[in-house]
A and B are shown apart, each in its own frame.
Chain A
Amino acid sequence: MPKPADQPFPHSTPLHHRQKAILVGASSGIGAALALQLADEGYSLALLARRTDLLSRLCDEINQKAGETLARGYPHDVCDYVSVPGLLQTILADLGGVDLFIYNSGVSLPVGLKKFDFHKDRRTMEVNLLGALAWLNPVAAMFQSLKSGQIVGISSVAGERGRVGNPSYNASKAALSSYLEALRNRLTRHGVHVLTVKPGFVETELLAGAKGTFWVIPADQAARDISKAIRTHKQDIYTPARWKWIMLVVRNIPSFIFRKLVF
């Protein structure tokens, strides 16, 4: 297991309470923006991602700004499912507790309108769904035992309908949203909050090269929306919020029309 070489996190004491969060998928996009946002709010952060160079740069930026160790990087591939419980145990000990868990890892691998590609679909499912399940299971067990905590899953508006452009992405996000809803229904009674975030178009690597996008918001705006939803213990948000109305329409487009659309 890779060990982060930097300093230990500062201690919680009765007069220095520290909020502690784990963020999976932190190296870029919404994850990186959310890490910066939560660090500004005083969180101690265990940041996980595959790309170690980006991760250590982000940790350095946060720690330099804060003047203390608020962020530590844990190199991790979300498809390495077996390592998850052990890594969670290590991080829990390093942080001295966890109040917030965020699963943000996600890929979008469009196949083209007339093509079919199992390998891409499988990869999408492995990162977006199975990676999430590998984490959400032990995290849910942990928070259920502690009778507290908050889980955030970054899903997508794309999970609300199956569209011609990217079937496995739609399916992975639909499954993630459903799973998060089920977790919420299981865990609320144990004092655990579960938040499903459905971003619209956010300026990230995932969107690079995509056509037909609109209302694109920068990642830090999405991060602000998400952190506000975390603070207020929301269950479900769209970012930006106006997607709520668009999706109301999209969800209700009858199939005979939807079949003819190309988006």
Chain B
Amino acid sequence: MPNPFFENLRTLENFGHSLRLPAYYYQPEDLDGIRPVLKTARESGLAITVRGAGRSYNDAALNGGGIILDLQAINRILEWQPGTGLIRCEPGVTLKQLWQHVLPGGWWPPVVSGTQATTLGGCLGMNIHGKNNYKAGTIGEHVLEFTALLPTGAEVTCSPQKNGDLFRAMIGGMGMLGIFTSITLQMKHMYSGLLEIQAWNAPNLSSQLEALETRKDKADYIVGWMDCTARGSGLGRGQLHQANYLPEGADPDAARNLQVGFQTLPSKFFGLVPKSLLHYFMAPFMNNPGTRMVNTAKFLVGRNKTYRQSHASFHFLLDYVPDWELAYGRQGLIQYQSFLPKETALPTWSEMLKLSHNRNLPSYLGVTKRHRPDGFLLSHAVDGFSLALDFKVTSGNRSRLAGMLQEFDQLVLKAGGRFYFAKNSETRPETALGFLGEETIHKFRSLKLRCDPDHLLESNLYRRVFGKA
């Protein structure tokens, strides 16, 4: 009884290397290769998870014992209009491919994540935001149109006007309603390959949030780094980075720095140490005292300064040290991101930070951003702030960490907060119900029933948070 199926099995990981699950792996080379995988799923009774670059920190692109449909090879740029900044791409096109294609014409993607490895299909499925969320919204707000293949076999075209309900649900729909086949985006025009950066220290959480609030009208991008190990009066201290586009004529060197070669991240540190080795040097500091030391040093040397930096260097911090996530060790890391209204952010996060200190489970990296609401169905956005916390996972801290995150969930829900499905790995159905509300979940389920009546599309994330309808 030969069973060729088992030979397609492969162990896949999340971005944080904290969960490994097996799945039957298919990577079609073109759009025609998608339908046979749908057929295989239908015949075998297995569900499909659509996967891009696998940059979700949780189980969004994992499907234990099911089928993974990897769209990374379907990555052609179909159409580019340098005059208007309109671009039409296949879903496997990465942000890196995208910016490198549009930059020479003086364009840049309107919204980018902290890594350029993500695919557009993944970016839309999660409706990613960047450091300009309060101003530019999510990537979904810059999608003019997309086409998708539904599990029913139907092909649909969606835009804010056409099939608007599906447009607002598939963007941010975790890949559970259909498979993006082409995406049309509006790029943002710029006059320089450089950004004007201002950096300064914030002595505590309240000053950090205040800076995000007051600067938001002037800044094109703003992001905060938080030293989550600091206690007492320095609780929530950190550094802020504000970036602004250069106006026309402000950069005499624009012709040069709008070239891809200028933007590319250096591969060596001090021109000497290959950066691919750097994570080995970081690993010894990835513990409570090590992180406290490094964070304190980073905070103390932080000065007010203004400088110019390339777009790629400013945006893609996660790519600055290749494989940085390996520094977290064999058990990997998880990220816990919460979105809070501006009124409740300060007391809630203060309580969370103190709780993490009392439990001796400090986060090794905290990142703050300013947000605004959007009109997508499964939205994570609020008129307020987000705080993303990275935690190292060890075999000894798993259950304590899980317990603490459940307490965090309650604090965030009580404060009117929300969560983001590309990040948190332990969100329970009752928590999702708590922030999305019954009506939203009902709407999503009805669309799911319409687009995917046989539940061909399911991921571990979907089963964890939404379960069977």
Residues of A participating in the B interface, judged by any CB pair closer than 8 Å: 11-17, 81-82, 84-85, 88-90, 92-98, 134, 137-138, 141-142, 145-148
- B44, A89: Cβ atoms under 8 Å? yes
- A97, B65: Cβ atoms under 8 Å? yes
Determine, out of B13-21, B68-76, B154-162, B212-220, the stretch whose residues face the partner at the interface.
B13-21
- B11, A15: Cβ atoms under 8 Å? no
Interface-centre pick from A16, A81, A134, A148 (highest chain B CB count, 10 A): A16
What distance in Å separates the Cβ of B104 from its nearest Cβ neighbour in chain A?
A: 40
- A13, B64: Cβ atoms under 8 Å? no
- B6, A11: Cβ atoms under 8 Å? no
If A89-B44, A92-B65 are given as contacts, then 10 extra A-B residue pairs at C-beta distance below 8 Å, sorted by A number, are A12-B460, A14-B332, A14-B334, A15-B399, A17-B398, A84-B1, A93-B64, A95-B65, A96-B65, A146-B10
User: Known interface pairs A16-B402, A95-B65. Does A82 touch B1 (Cβ–Cβ under 8 Å)?
Assistant: yes
- B66, A93: Cβ atoms under 8 Å? yes
What distance in Å separates the Cβ of B303 from its nearest Cβ neighbour in chain A?
A: 37
A13 to B332, CA, bound (A): 12
The answer to whether B59 has its CB under 8 Å from any CB of chain A is: yes
Number of A-B contacts (CB under 8 A): 95
User: Known interface pairs A13-B19, A13-B426. Does A93 touch B6 (Cβ–Cβ under 8 Å)?
Assistant: no
Closest 9 CB pairs of A and B: A96-B64, A14-B18, A93-B65, A145-B9, A15-B402, A92-B65, A141-B6, A85-B3, A14-B425
A-B contact pairs, 24 of them (CB 8 A): A11-B460, A13-B19, A14-B14, A14-B59, A14-B426, A15-B393, A15-B402, A15-B426, A16-B398, A82-B1, A85-B1, A85-B3, A88-B6, A89-B44, A93-B64, A96-B460, A97-B21, A97-B22, A98-B22, A137-B1, A138-B6, A145-B7, A146-B10, A146-B22
Q: Mark B432-469, 1 if CB is under 8 A from A, else 0.
A: 00000000000000000000000000001001100000
A145 to B5, CA, bound (A): 10
- Contacting residue for A141 out of B7, B16, B45, CB 8 A: B7
- B3, A138: Cβ atoms under 8 Å? yes
- Contacting residue for A145 out of B8, B46, B402, CB 8 A: B8
A109 to B435, CA, bound (A): 62
The answer to whether B123 has its CB under 8 Å from any CB of chain A is: no
- B393, A145: Cβ atoms under 8 Å? no
What distance in Å separates the Cβ of A135 from its nearest Cβ neighbour in chain B?
A: 11
A60 to B44, CA, bound (A): 29
- Contacting residue for B11 out of A13, A17, A82, A146, CB 8 A: A146
- Residues of chain B contacted by A11 (CB below 8 angstroms): 59, 460, 463-464
CB-CB contacts below 8 Å: B18-52 with A: 18-19, 21-22, 44-47
Interface-centre pick from B6, B47, B399 (highest chain A CB count, 10 A): B6
- Residues of chain B contacted by A82 (CB below 8 angstroms): 1
- B398, A15: Cβ atoms under 8 Å? yes
The answer to whether B352 has its CB under 8 Å from any CB of chain A is: no
The answer to whether B401 has its CB under 8 Å from any CB of chain A is: yes
User: Known interface pairs A14-B16, A15-B393, A146-B11. Does A97 touch B44 (Cβ–Cβ under 8 Å)?
Assistant: no
- Contacting residue for A94 out of B18, B65, B464, CB 8 A: B65
A241 to B22, CA, bound (A): 35
Residue of B nearest to A17 (CB): B398
- B334, A93: Cβ atoms under 8 Å? no
CB-CB contacts below 8 Å: B401-430 with A: 401-402, 405, 425-426
A137 to B46, CA, bound (A): 21
- A145, B6: Cβ atoms under 8 Å? yes
- Chain B's interface size range is 35 or more
- Residues of chain A contacted by B393 (CB below 8 angstroms): 14-15
Interface-centre pick from A13, A16, A82, A141 (highest chain B CB count, 10 A): A13
- A13, B425: Cβ atoms under 8 Å? yes
- Contacting residue for A12 out of B6, B19, B47, B66, CB 8 A: B19
What distance in Å separates the Cβ of B5 from its nearest Cβ neighbour in chain A?
A: 7
- Residues of chain A contacted by B402 (CB below 8 angstroms): 15-16
User: Known interface pairs A93-B65, A97-B64, A141-B6. Does A15 touch B405 (Cβ–Cβ under 8 Å)?
Assistant: yes
The answer to whether B58 has its CB under 8 Å from any CB of chain A is: yes
- Residues of chain B contacted by A93 (CB below 8 angstroms): 45-47, 64-66
A93 to B460, CA, bound (A): 11
- Residues of chain A contacted by B64 (CB below 8 angstroms): 12, 93, 95-97
What distance in Å separates the Cβ of A150 from its nearest Cβ neighbour in chain B?
A: 14
What distance in Å separates the Cβ of B43 from its nearest Cβ neighbour in chain A?
A: 11
A16 to B425, CA, bound (A): 10
What distance in Å separates the Cβ of A3 from its nearest Cβ neighbour in chain B?
A: 11
A88 to B22, CA, bound (A): 13
A11 to B425, CA, bound (A): 11
- B22, A92: Cβ atoms under 8 Å? yes
- B45, A13: Cβ atoms under 8 Å? no
What distance in Å separates the Cβ of A116 from its nearest Cβ neighbour in chain B?
A: 32
What distance in Å separates the Cβ of B44 from its nearest Cβ neighbour in chain A?
A: 7
What distance in Å separates the Cβ of B395 from its nearest Cβ neighbour in chain A?
A: 9
User: Known interface pairs A15-B399, A96-B65. Does A142 touch B6 (Cβ–Cβ under 8 Å)?
Assistant: yes
- Contacting residue for B45 out of A90, A142, A146, CB 8 A: A90
Q: Mark B56-97, 1 if CB is under 8 A from A, else 0.
A: 001100001110000000000000000000000000000000
Interface-centre pick from A14, A81, A134 (highest chain B CB count, 10 A): A14
- B10, A145: Cβ atoms under 8 Å? yes
- B11, A148: Cβ atoms under 8 Å? yes
- Residues of chain A contacted by B464 (CB below 8 angstroms): 11, 13
What distance in Å separates the Cβ of A234 from its nearest Cβ neighbour in chain B?
A: 21
Q: Mark B274-303, 1 if CB is under 8 A from A, else 0.
A: 000000000000000000000000000000
Residue of B nearest to A84 (CB): B1
What distance in Å separates the Cβ of A88 from its nearest Cβ neighbour in chain B?
A: 8
Residue of A nearest to B425 (CB): A14
- Residues of chain B contacted by A148 (CB below 8 angstroms): 11
What distance in Å separates the Cβ of B330 from its nearest Cβ neighbour in chain A?
A: 12
A134 to B3, CA, bound (A): 12
